[in-house]
Amino acid sequence: MSDIIEEYIKPLYMKVLHGNFVKEENEAFIETSNRACSELSDKDIQELLGRGWREAIVASWIVALRKESSFIKKMRENLIPSRCCFSGEFHLIALARINSEESQQVIIDYLEKYLPVGSNCYDQKWAYGALHLINPSLARKYDDDILWKQIEGGKEFGIMDRMKGIDKVRSVFDFIESNFNDLKQNQSLLDNA
C-alpha cells in the first residue's frame, strides 16, 4: 500500500480535491490518473475507499474515470454518514458518472439526509449538481431555496449556492470528456488482453 500512496495518492489528491485539476492543464496529472486506472486493482480501490480522505478521493476519482458500479455500496457506506471530510465530493462525481438507478438513489438519499442544509454544510451542492446533471427532473425536487438556508448559532447567514454545484460537476465532467475520452476503450483492451 505504501507504493500506491507514493505513486498515486500523493501526486493526485490535492489536484482532485474540490476539482482543482480543472483550473489548469496538467499532463502529469492526466498521465498519473491514466496509470492509476490501468494499474490499481479492484482490491486496491476497495482498500483505498476505506482509508483516510486523501486515499478515498483518489479512489473515487479512479472509480469515476472507470465508471465502476461495483463500488457503489462502499461509496454509499462512506457518503451517507458523511464519515470523512472532502471525500464526498468525488464519491458524488463517481456516482454521477456511473449514472445507474442505484447510484442515482445514493445521491437522492444523501440529499434527503442533509437537506435542509441548516448548520450541516457538507457536500450538498455537489450532490445537487451531480443529480441535476444526470437527471434534472429528479433534481427539481430540491429547488426550493428554503432547503439551502445556512444557519449558525440559530441565525440564518445565507443560502448555499447549489448552482455552483452544477458548475463544479459540469466542469469535472467536461474535463474528463476532454482528457480521458479514450480511457474506456483502453480499459476494454486491457480487460480483453
Query: How many folded domains does the chain comprise?
Result: 1
Q: Confidence class of residue 188 from pLDDT cuts 50, 70 and 90?
A: very low
By the 10 Å C-beta count (0-12 exposed, 13-18 middle, 19+ buried), 148 is classed as: buried
CA distance 58 to 17: 9
Q: Confidence class of residue 75 from pLDDT cuts 50, 70 and 90?
A: very high
pTM for the model: 0.90
pLDDT of 85: 77
> What separation in angstroms does the CA of 8 have from each of 5, 27, 57, 126, 186?
6, 14, 11, 24, 19
157 three-state secondary structure = strand
By the 10 Å C-beta count (0-12 exposed, 13-18 middle, 19+ buried), 80 is classed as: middle
Domain hosting residue 129, numbered range: 2-192
Strands (E), 26-118: none
pLDDT tens string 105-156: 999 999 999 999 998 889 999 999 999 999 999 999 999 999 999 988 888 8
